[in-house]
Amino acid sequence: MILRTLRALIVDADGVLWRGKQSLPGVPAFFDFLRERQISFIIATNNSARPASDVVGRLARVGVEIEERCVLTSAEATARYLPRLVPDARRVCMIGGEGLSDALTRAGYQLVEQDADAVVVGIDFALTYEKLARAAREIGRGVKFIGTNGDKTLPTEDGAVPGVGAILAALQATTAVAPILIGKPERAMFDIAVEKMGAAREATAILGDRLETDIEGAQRAGLKSILVLTGVTTPELLAQSSIHPDLVFDNLDALRAAWVRAY
């Protein structure tokens, strides 16, 4: 019954559409199904380092053509949500990469090193002590301190490396100010996705592979949740968890087959 009522989907990327550099099975057929049934979708990712065009390009390589408006990065969500946190902000002190700088400048913000109206922090692979010091000074002036997401680590083929959360922790230790987080599992990210689609909340679900971000985020946002077991969550982890999705499938093909049967 849940699948029959869904008209919009917020789709996680890593662990659902691909794992690392490897595309997962069933992706083209799944997007064909969504289009055939006129089900709206947004691909939502906590990755703030790269612009939405990277997701578009990666899907194109497996035969899935989408527009950039169908992608929501935590960088774009932050830029869109910033007016609700600091309505008169024009100048932003930023730590982050191309994806975040592009999202903020497109939204009309000026990137500055001092006298900012807000400090916005995303993942920065060229992080320096001076960048941290500069942001700490601005936070110390009392401006809003905002993080694109709170992921403490990033998974790589060589193991976990520091994520945005580690940068935020350094600034919080320095300033004693906790950041306002935007990305998953925070509700702000999902609210922006629902607004972009113009969807009804009761007809929207989140499709992901992580219990603590995708599924918990869905519950915080009052949305339905669908878990696929192609990413970090195993059946064993699911059985031990206190976070329970509405629906669970082995992979995208299994989800698509069940959705077809639901009509």
Q: Is there a contact between 103 and 123 (Cβ–Cβ < 8 Å)?
A: no
Q: Is 14 a catalytic residue?
A: yes
Using CB atoms within 10 A of its CB, is residue 230 exposed (0-12), middle (13-18) or buried (19+)? buried
Query: CA 61 to CA 141: how far, in whole Å?
Result: 46
- Across 100-223, where does the E strand assignment appear? 110-111, 118-121, 144-147, 153-156, 159-162, 180-181, 204-208
The active-site residue, picked from 12, 117, 124, 209, is: 12
Q: Which domains does the chain have, with CATH numbers?
A: 2-46+184-262 (3.40.50.1000), 86-181 (3.40.50.1000)
Q: Is 88 a catalytic residue?
A: no
Q: Are strands 22-23 and 18-19 parallel, antiparallel or unpaired?
A: antiparallel
Lay out the sheet containing 91-95: strands in order across: 110-111, 91-95, 118-121, 144-147, 180-181
Please give the model's pTM, rounded to 2 decimal places: 0.91
Using CB atoms within 10 A of its CB, is residue 87 exposed (0-12), middle (13-18) or buried (19+)? exposed
**Count of residues for the chain?**
263
Judged by DSSP in three states, 69 sits in helix
Place of tokens 């029959």: 4
- Alpha-carbon Rg for the chain, nearest whole angstrom, is 19
**Under 8 Å CB-to-CB from 206, ≥6 apart: which residues?**
9, 10, 12, 190, 214, 215, 217, 218, 221, 223, 224, 225, 226
Could you read off the pLDDT tens digit of each residue along the chain, which spans 263 residues? 799 999 999 999 988 999 878 889 999 999 999 999 999 999 999 989 888 999 999 999 999 999 999 999 999 999 999 999 999 999 999 999 999 999 999 999 999 999 999 999 999 999 999 999 999 999 999 999 999 999 888 766 677 789 999 999 999 999 999 999 999 999 999 999 999 999 999 999 999 998 988 999 999 999 999 999 998 899 999 999 999 999 999 999 999 999 999 98
